[in-house]
Structure formats: structure tokens, C-alpha cells
Chain A
């Protein structure tokens, strides 16, 4: 009689690795796949903005101010999505705006994630006074509504795209610190950490090499969702005149600078807003998908 158990053991190349399991679980989620596809498209637009946009983003065609989109009665195919009040091509500005929005998301999330992970690791690993000080500071930051905190930071640093990125990085920071600290505290007592310490691993090695990789899942999810928050807040700051300054083709400031023409030329307001919505939606879809795939408790 053949050994049934032996038959059931999969050859190593077919055994579900963590990555394969994650990929399969993620791919099942249709919304999450749509999110990834949209993000791929946005990244493509951002990278090849100079090649694919039909016009330079700041070129003013004075004879074509507020030209309607191509499908409208007076539209021209030269400007597919129409032009803005000073005759700049909307489509080209939107494409270049992708670059800015993704850059804002990337820079602010990168700053706050790296800073937040270090602070969270330190707070969770050393505990005591260090932890108290760090966490109380984070509580203060969380007590302020996010946009208000960003506005306060911009009031100090002065308006502008780069300062808006710093402001958003600061706003996002407490979330990463709290997540990392909580994960570190729950991991630090595990046997593998003790084993590693007994084996002679130093503090830095324990913190970054032993503990951190096991706290990665919630951080990845939070970072993805942080992207969408960063893009929304940057657009809001741009809209309030505190973020990117004209003529930068940032979606929020594009929207606010064309506000007075909203009745005569709705497209100058509609498309930048739609671009923000789609981008934020894509990152939220991806974030939700990642959470479902990385957290077995939430799996359907």
C-alpha cells in the first residue's frame, strides 16, 4: 500500500511560499487589482510626462483661452481636454501634475515612514521615559486635526510645494510611530527575539534586523494609505494657496486658480478634481487589498 502522507507532501517548488500566498490572495481582490492597474498607469504618466503630453505644461496659447474639450461643439482636437484661462493645455498640465502628486506622496511618506519607524522602534524597544516623551509628543500632534497641523507647519515654513511635503510628512508621522511601537512591543517578548539576544545580537541588530521585518505588514498597509492622505492634503493645501504655487501644474492649485471660471468653463475645475479622486481611490483600493492579503484575520 502506498504511503498516503508521502503523496501529500508537495515538491518544494509548489509549496506556497509567503510571497506566492500573498500574491494569490491579493489577486483575488478585484478592486485591489484595479488599484494596481491605475497606479501603474499613473506611474507611466509621471515617468513619461515629457514624452506623452501633447504640449509643454506652461506654454500659453493666447488665441485658445478656455477652449472647451475636443468633444464639445467648439472644441478642437489640438486640446483634447480643453485649455485653462491663460490658454494652457489641460491634458498636458494634468499629466505633469501626476508627477507632482506622486512625488508628494513618495517624499512625504518616505520621510514620515523612516522617521516614524525609528522613533517607534526606539519607543517600543527602550520603553520608560524615552517612550513616554515620544508618545506624548505624538499625542499632541494627533490632537490637532490633520489639515490644521499641516496649515500650522506651512505658516511656520512658508507656503510652497516642498514645505507642503514636510508639513504632510509631519502630519503622517504619529501614525507610523504608534504602529511601529505597538508592533515592536508585541514582538519584543517573543522567543525568536530572546534567542537572537542570547546569540549575542546587539541592540541595533535586534531592533532593525530581528524585530522590524516582523512588523512590516501593518507598516506597508499604512504607507499605502498614507500616500492617498498625502495626495489629498497636498491638494487641499494647494487649493488654499498654501501648497504648490502657480504656475506649477499641481492639481489642487490648478483647481483654485481657475475657480472664477467655473460657470463658463466647468472643465477647468472638473478634470483636476477627477484626477485627484482617481489617484486617491487607486491608492485606497491598493491599501485595502494589501491589508486583506497581509492580515489573515481579515481574509474572506
Chain B
């Protein structure tokens, strides 16, 4: 097991290295240099330009600059935002809990609805229920996220007035930042009205972000269930006289879950992709929204640092899923 863990961890080192190279290259591939982008349209006198280039270390050779960059990254220094003048890592860490909170509830919804839906579809194969679940999940899978968000806002926020249109909590509440998770912080403060407000702000974005993972999980559960239900041990369990429910829940589900767990782990990248759109539409103060603002305002340190951090998270989660998978399934360990 230890060797398996070591091997997997060693495998991600070159990937991480590649990501830093990509983030580093980003700044140099953009037309014009960062100093030029700083100076705006008025231009800059050559002496000042040369001084700034030297200050940013941009007058040195590329390998030197890259080594310098890696040194900074390893010390947790990802540069300063050009718009807010805050350290990029600091900004990311402040906003990240909002994205995690949103993604967590999106994934929770996807699993809580997707798993039973997929199981139901598999049990009632080729019936109306099966077609309904599969049709809905295909539609969910094909859904343009931003449009889906607008439809839900139009229906539930504008016409029915059930949920707020955007933001994370009503302006009236002032919740002290402790964990950064709004639901936790409001509960810690004992402010239940604020908690309700935060919850009502969370509902629509979580549904929007959870839709595609839900569809994927439902489809995967169904096909994995169908495969398992064909196995001999299921027939044996039925022959023993066990109820259908017991066979499904005890014998089939456990084995059917293995590929589903992998798929759930793989949703993390998808969730972060979806978060970019969802957060933009709902003005959710998270990492996705921040990144888009960074791109739109040409705040390159933010884009560079954000890409590096998001990729690191995806790589780490994938590694975690890999390791977990090795725990569940010993065959993988020795492959």
C-alpha cells in the first residue's frame, strides 16, 4: 500500500511542474509585456520602462525567470493583484470557502438525487420511470448552465419571489468572517435569520451547479447497477428468498458504487468549471467569479495564480480519489 501511495504521489510531481510551466508561460505568451500592459495607452518613457522591467525581473533570461517564479510559488508568493493590490494567494483563500460551500451543496444534491434516480431507473428498466429519469438526465447533461440559471432566476426569483436573485447573503446581515463558510459562520454567531438568508441565497446556485453532476451520476449509477444486477451472486441472493429491496441495497448497491465513487470524484473539475459560470451569473463571491473578473480586467497575476491554484486542487482531488480507489479495490494497488 505504501509503495502504491508513493508511486501515485510521484506521478503528480511532473503534472504539477507542467502546470507551473503553463502558468508561467501564460504571462509571456500574452501579446505585449506586463509592463506595457501596466502603462495603459499613454505609453511610458524608456528609462522608466527599463527600470520596471528590471524590478519585475523581466530583463533576465527565461529559465532564470522561471526558476525565480518557482521559488516564489514554493514560498506561497503568487504575486499581487493589479486591481486590488492584495496578495493573490490571500484573495484566493478568502474567496475559496464560498466556492467550496457552493460546490459541496451542489455535489450533495447531485448525489442525494442522482443515486436513487439511477437505482430506480435500473430497477425499472425499460419502463416509463426509466425513460423519464434517463430523458431528464440527458437534458441535464446537455444543459447550457448559464441559460438554466437564468430560467431558474426568472421563475423562482423574479416571478415567484421565493429566492434572492444574487449574492451570498442579504446586505442587512453582518456576519463575522471565521471559517468563510456562510452557513457555519451564521450558526456560530447564533443568527438564525442570517442563516435562513444565506440558505435561501444558496439554493438556486447549488441547483444550477449540481445539475450536470446529477445527470452524470444518475446515468453512471444506472449503467453500473444494470451490470451488477446481471451477476450470479444477485441471482443467488434472490433465490435465497431475499426481498428485492434487500438485494438492491445490500448486495447490488455496494458493488455498483465503485465506479460511481470514481465518477463523483471526477466531478470536482467539472464543478470548478461550472462554478465559473454559476458564480458569474449569481454574483457569488467565489473563485470562479474572481477569475473571470481577472481575465476581463487583464489582471494577469490573478489569472496566473488562479490557474495554478485551481489546477493544484484538481490534481490533489484526483490523487485522493485514486488513493481511495486503491483502498476500495486491491487489484488497482498492484496493477
Contact = CB atoms under 8 A, between A and B. Distances in A.
A102 interface: no
A285 B138 contact: yes
B276 A151 contact: yes
Contact of A262 (B22, B29, B150, B311): B150
A197 B83 CA distance: 61
A189 interface: no
A235 B146 CA distance: 9
The prevalent SS among residues of B at the interface is: helix
Contact of B147 (A143, A145, A242, A255): A255
Interface stretch (B13-21, B71-79, B90-98, B246-254): B13-21
A243 B22 CA distance: 22
Interface stretch (A106-114, A117-125, A132-140): A132-140
A155 B295 contact: yes
A266 interface: yes
A156 B303 CA distance: 11
B139 A281 contact: yes
Contact of B273 (A143, A147, A228, A281): A147
A155 to B, nearest CB: 5
A156 B26 contact: yes
Interface in B1-58: 14-15, 18-19, 21-22, 26, 29-31
B272 interface: yes
Of A139, A252, A270, A272, the most chain B CB neighbours within 10 A belong to A139
Interface residues of A, number: 44
A284 interface: yes
A276 B26 contact: no
A270 B153 CA distance: 12
Contacts of A281: 138-139, 142
A236 B147 CA distance: 9
A143 B314 contact: yes
Contact of A148 (B14, B150, B272): B272
A75 interface: no
B151 A273 contact: yes
B26 A152 contact: yes
B296 A273 contact: no
B270 interface: yes
Question: Which of A145, A147, A232, A262 has the largest number of chain B CB atoms within 10 A?
Answer: A145
B26 A273 contact: no
A242 B18 contact: no
B22 to A, nearest CB: 6
Given A147-B277, A155-B303, A236 B295 contact: no
Interface in B119-164: 138-139, 141-148, 150-151, 154, 158
A113 B216 CA distance: 24
Contacts of B148: 273
17 contacts: A136-B14, A139-B18, A140-B18, A143-B15, A143-B19, A144-B22, A144-B311, A145-B314, A147-B274, A152-B26, A155-B295, A228-B142, A232-B144, A239-B144, A242-B295, A263-B158, A280-B144
Going nearest first, the 7 A-B pairs with the smallest beta carbon separation are A273-B147, A140-B18, A145-B273, A280-B142, A281-B142, A147-B273, A145-B272
Interface of A: 31, 136-137, 139-140, 142-148, 151-152, 154-156, 158, 228, 232, 235-236, 239-242, 252, 255-256, 259, 262-263, 266, 269-270, 272-273, 276-277, 280-281, 284-285, 288
Given A145-B273, A284-B141, 16 more contacts: A31-B138, A136-B18, A140-B18, A143-B269, A143-B314, A145-B270, A151-B291, A151-B292, A155-B303, A156-B26, A156-B29, A158-B31, A236-B277, A269-B147, A277-B143, A288-B138
